[in-house]
Amino acid sequence: MIKMTINTDKNNRHSDENNVYANETMPKSKTKRIYKYDNLRGLGMILVVLGHLMVYYEIIQPTIGVMISVIAMPLVFFVSGYLSKIKNSDVKKLFTNLLIPYVIFTLVWILFEHFILKFKFANTPFITEYLLLWYLFSLFIMRLLLPAIIKLKYSFWITLAIGLIIGIFPLPDNFLVLSKTFCMFPVFLLGYYIKNPNESSPILNKIIKVFTNLFKNKYVLLIIFIIILAIMSIIFTNWDLQIFQLKSSYESLDLRILPGIIMRFLVIIAGIILIFLLNYLMPNKKTFLTKIGINSLALYIFHFYLIKIFAKILFIYDYNGHLLIYYLKHDLILGYGIIFISWLFITFVLSRDVVTNITNKLIGLFGKILMKD
């Protein structure tokens, strides 16, 4: 299958007792850290932060916006699938490490927006609105269903079909994150099956083996990756960005069923191809992405707060409460400069070990309070 160089240095053993992802998925004894997947997750998370900054500041370059949408969250789900295990699955851990943090930190966000930012309370916070932490809920559903899903002969293709079909139904946007969850499920399963090739369907296994044999020269891979990005930029640039969010029905996007299915299929497949390439391009050694990947949970949960606070205090509003975003949108050098500085600051601060340690202690505390021994 995939040949990966694993560092055998004793100092590189997993010290992930403080990492909520590791608590869910990795054995704590004598397991070596595979830096490649920290790096991939780190790349996914910095793209997520960048995308949210661009949306909030309303400065979205179409091609960059499309690339972020196609790569960022699928990359995070791919790594989550790779790190998932069936034998060590523990429903209690899923509740403690995913569902409880999702509920608690969503409630904290609602209170933050209401009392600090003076927003009104949402009518349906856990059904259609306030789903900023939707990844935690989706991952909870995926890992809960994984033992049953992999028993299906064509699980990858079935989940892909569900992701396409669910767009036919006129559900409210982001309704229980069902659309996003099933659109990301094939990506999650791809990560799982790359780690566990014997459990995949014969067709998918053959496809993975063919691509694995082709992707041996990293220079060729990089050229292919750039070519695919260029093709995607040509095909996708004029599409509505909501299409890439995978949360809306085709009807709400003013698309007929067949064009909607084709467009969603292309978005999902494009993401899978790029992630598959990145899986072979990413080095299996420590890089600047490694720490971000290890500490990605805290970055994911808290970057929303810093985006809002950073913007409100420093950039978006003047002392009289007048919106300054007009100037940002019409002075792109200033706008992108602010985004870049915000991006570096938020990523650096929230990827520190101390932030992750505090976050995991809070999650552990919530788990002890809400879960029985």
| Sequence spans of domains, the chain | 10-370
Specify whether the CB–CB gap between 166 and 265 falls below 8 A.
Answer: no
Instruction: Tell me how far apart the alpha carbons of residues 267 and 318 are, in angstroms, rounded to a whole number.
Output: 39
Q: At what angle do helices 178-195 and 134-149 cross, to 10 degrees?
A: 60
The model carries a pTM of: 0.86
* pLDDT digits 0-9 by tens, 168-193: 998 887 888 999 999 999 999 999 99
Instruction: Tell me how far apart the alpha carbons of residues 235 and 227 are, in angstroms, rounded to a whole number.
Output: 12
What is the residue-level pLDDT of the chain in tens, covering all 373 positions?
A: 333 333 333 333 333 333 444 434 343 444 678 899 999 999 999 999 999 988 887 777 777 888 888 999 999 999 999 999 876 557 888 999 999 999 999 999 888 888 887 777 777 778 876 677 999 999 999 999 999 999 998 999 999 999 999 999 988 878 889 999 999 999 999 999 999 887 877 888 887 777 777 777 788 888 888 998 888 888 888 898 889 999 989 999 999 999 999 999 999 999 999 998 999 899 999 999 999 999 999 999 999 999 888 777 665 555 455 556 556 666 777 778 888 988 999 999 999 999 999 999 999 999 999 888 6
Question: CA torsion, points 230, 71, 217, 220, in degrees to nearest 10?
Answer: 0
What is the predicted pLDDT for the residue at 208? 78
What is the predicted pLDDT for the residue at 364? 92
Residue in the structure block whose two tokens are 């998925």:
25
Token code pair at residue 286: 């420590």
